Structure 1
Amino acid sequence: MNEERNSAIGQELQQARLDKGLSLDDIQQSTKIQKRYLAAIESGQFDQLPGAFYERAFVRQYATAVGLDAVAFMQKYENEDTETVAPDLSAARVDADNVTRAGMHQTEETVADKTRSMMPKIIIGVVIVAIIAIIWVVVSSFAGSAKQESKNQSTVSVTTSQVASKKASSKKSATSTTASSESKSSSASSSSKASSKSSSEKKTAKADKVDLGQGTVSGTTVTYNSVKAPNKTMKMQLKAENGSSWMQVSDAAGTVLWNGTVADGKTQEVDIPTTATGVSVSIGNALATKVSLNNKAVDLQSSNASVWHLGMTFTR
């Protein structure tokens, strides 16, 4: 149907409906055609209908619903044969909203069709059963092998245990002899290590030893010009006895290494760096002071003088 005919059909059907005093809901109820399709027919928008076949079917039903002669009405617009029969909508599907959806009817499946549709499922089921059977056979086989292997291992274990027991008895006496020998060897090794350690300690002590040489007194100063010192940092001990004493220690370059007062009965240690070629010590109370270098006592030779000076030159 062309657009002009569609528009004319829609207008005539709409006018007939209005003349009858019916609404689109009334027409939908009587024809079971959706209201949106009825509205499309009235507006001539047949392209919104399911198809050309149902355009004619819906128009005939609409014409019948508004009291028109459907055959004459269709002949008027299409010159169709009066024997044209509207599609049988009795087989059309009716949804839950009681509205016919034309063209949605499906032919009932035959037994052969159902069998063909079920065949893939049957095949899949058979395959699954076969796989399960294969898995069961494999698992059973492995279980039997594992059981037999466990039994064999148990027998071997018992035999091995017996052999091991006999060997242990035969080796017991040999082990005792070996242990005694090892004990003696260990004792000798320990003695050797102790001797080596003692020798190492003696060498270390010798390396740290200081040889002051002979001191020379001039005025209020005693000088040790050739002190044999280890090539490492030394420690000078300044101890105050029978009273406190003020002291200052400087290196040969004049850098003060330490100064302060040492309280009675206390000892102050001063680090003499490896770079120092000598030191000078000023003492405020020489009668109450004792000086040592790396625990080697230094004779101040102060002759009862209170203020005293000590000078040292190192040979490393």
Structure 2
Amino acid sequence: MAKDENKEVEIGKSLHDARVAKGMSLEDVQKITKIQAHYLEAIENEDFSELPGDFYVRAFIKQYADTVGIDGMELLNEHDDSLPDTQTEEYSQKVSEDTLSKRSERQNKEEKINSFRKFVPIVGVAIVVLIVIFVIWGVVAKTNKSADTNINSNNSSVSVSGSSEKSESSNADNNKKQDKKPAPKKNINKTSIKKINATEYEVSGSKKNTITLDASNRAWSSISTNGKSLFSGSQESGNKKSVKLPSGTKDVSMSLGNVPSTKILINNKLLNLDKSVPMTTVLNIKFK
């Protein structure tokens, strides 16, 4: 796509001048947006090739602009022709590969189902034969047992009585042992997630916490606490990233570059984001 070089320069210069006017450094903008400083510097220098991909150029520019007091959407609209498309050839190729992969998986499943259907009649015949053999064996065994009972009728009365007492005693002992067995512990997820507002949540119920990011499409995200980065990077479709929080963590800041394609789980419990949250946002999570 053809680019207007003057407009490109205006974007970088506009962001740089707005940041300087507010007395902010690149590190200050990084703390607010959670976008790494070298990416911010690349935007000011118009070096978009340094960003994770064309998909993030518009998202990062908007987030930067909003932070330094410029209307991000208005800035993007003014320079729409000079910015990369959100769906590049790389993105389209990825979608095509995912479609072919799903089609292949569906064909494999259909072949397995057809093989199973062919195998069912054979299994059915085998089961019927086993049932017939079992019935015949049961009848023969019952007949032999009846003959033995008639021959030893006198002795069997005493034997049955003694066996009955032993059986009752054995059952009583087994019942006592079973009563002493502790009830199995239930694995209950006690984690509770409370929504404070669209970008702030409160989590309680667990001393050890893990945040999992599950990407359904290409997405960029970062997780940090007390100014320390725990994770920062991009994820492809189907990729999961789990981050264990340090013991005693109270506050966590999360920056998301593709909210619709990112599922957040805290201790395997889904965090339901507000529908009003934009495509790129920063979440604050407090732990009790």
TM-score normalised to the size of structure 1? 0.37
Which of the pair has more CA radius of gyration?
Answer: 1
Structure with greater contact order relative to length (CA < 8 Å, sep ≥ 6): 2
TM superposition score normalised by structure 2: 0.40
